[in-house]
A and B are shown apart, each in its own frame.
Chain A
Amino acid sequence: DTGVSQNPRHKITKRGQNVTFRCDPISEHNRLYWYRQTLGQGPEFLTYFQNEAQLEKSRLLSDRFSAERPKGSFSTLEIQRTEQGDSAMYLCASSSGARPPYEQYFGPGTRLTVT
């Protein structure tokens, strides 16, 4: 499968613990996005990377959230001191910057449950 991959697919954690998710984009894609999706809602934008540079962060991304893309390939999203309100599906998407309209392709997501 040459699509976007995410690990783990599911994560259950206790409130207050730290969690880290990984996203591997489509190999030739230099643009990477993180979104959060709660039940019954559309994905909400969290942050955007172009190569290794984090160029935009949503107000939803509190100081407990940090994302990196150190070599411009895979990305990690870390949540510190998790809260029950962090329970959601975390989706990663990637796109090529080579030619508009820069379609975004999504990974399968990491479902986080905070107990």
Chain B
Amino acid sequence: GENVEQHPSTLSVQEGDSAVIKCTYSDSASNYFPWYKQELGKRPQLIIDIRSNVGEKKDQRIAVTLNKTAKHFSLHITETQPEDSAVYFCAARAPGGYNKLIFGAGTRLAVHP
């Protein structure tokens, strides 16, 4: 079945710097890749997603890139702010029709003022 690996597990940046989180997936048939942000004690929130027919998608300070050949996708956050501090999860939708998501283990991002 699908497997998603996420790196790094922790990331510390200064406010205003950029942050990049990388994920790899195993099943080349996966076709949808969402990213979730989870603040302490709160629900995972969908922040951006990308479908397999698109190479890049941007929404204000966040962007996601997808390399289908290498089976890599990445989250890019520019001009980081302290409120970006959270755990970020990547996921891949397993093929097969039922849309279950396979998640990475998460990246804890700390943005220092």
Which residues from chain A sit less than 8 Å from chain B, CB to CB?
Answer: 4, 31, 33, 35, 40-45, 48, 50, 55-56, 91, 95, 100-109
Contact = CB atoms under 8 A, between A and B. Distances in A.
Interface centre among A40, A43, A100 (most CB of B within 10 A): A43
Given A42-B91, A91-B44, 13 more contacts: A42-B4, A42-B6, A42-B104, A43-B101, A44-B103, A56-B100, A91-B43, A100-B32, A101-B49, A103-B46, A103-B49, A104-B101, A106-B45
14 contacts: A4-B43, A33-B99, A40-B105, A41-B106, A42-B6, A42-B89, A48-B98, A48-B99, A55-B98, A56-B100, A101-B51, A102-B99, A108-B42, A108-B43
Q: Which 4 A-B pairs have the closest CB atoms?
A: A42-B103, A45-B100, A106-B43, A108-B43
A82 B106 CA distance: 27
Interface residues of B, number: 24
B44 A106 contact: yes
Contacts, number: 60
Contacts of B51: 100-101
Interface of B: 4, 6, 32, 34, 36, 42-46, 49, 51, 89, 91, 93, 98-106
B99 to A, nearest CB: 5
A48 B102 CA distance: 13
A32 to B, nearest CB: 11
Contact of B34 (A44, A104, A108): A104
Interface centre among B32, B36, B101 (most CB of A within 10 A): B101
Nearest to A55: B98
A59 to B, nearest CB: 10
